Structures are given as structure tokens and as C-alpha cells.
Amino acid sequence: MNISEETFIVNLGIHIRQLREKRGLSQQGLADDCGIPRNQIGRIERGKINTGIRTFIRIANAFDIELTELLSFHLK
């Protein structure tokens, strides 16, 4: 299946927001746990930036999940 980079980035952002909300975290709380700015979390969740793997590792660690789980989601 071919997907565009934009589709993947937007859907990953939605997935990250869902995981954050499921854990009852604010964007600021997740940002603090990851050591990255809150506005970067917002841009990731809105699919506005294509961030690096290091940031995704930090997010997965903050959620206490494997990176593969962070990257596993259904495309819409």
C-alpha cells in the first residue's frame, strides 16, 4: 500500500494525541516528560512537522511504550 508522507505524519500526530489524552496528559505535561517544547508537541499532533526519530523515541519513553507501538496505528 502506498501512502504519502503527509498522510503518515498527520495520522501519527493523531495517534500521539490519542495516546496523550488516554493518559490524561496535557501537551505541556508530555513536553516536560520528553524534554521538548510544548509548541513542538502541538505541531507534531497537528501533523505540521516531520520530526526526527530521537523525538519519537523520547515520546515513546514518556509514554513508557515501545517505539514500535508508537508507530503502530491505522491510517485514516
CB 11 within 8 A of CB 73: yes
Predicted confidence (pLDDT) per residue in 29-49, tens digit: 999 999 999 999 999 999 999
The domains of the chain are located at 5-70
pLDDT band at 1 (very low <50, low <70, confident <90, very high): low
User: Residue 53's CB: how many other CB atoms inside 10 A?
Assistant: 9
What is the value of pTM for the model shown? 0.91
Name the helix (H) or strand (E) containing 26: none
Q: Give CATH superfamily name and number for 5-70.
A: lambda repressor-like DNA-binding domains (1.10.260.40)
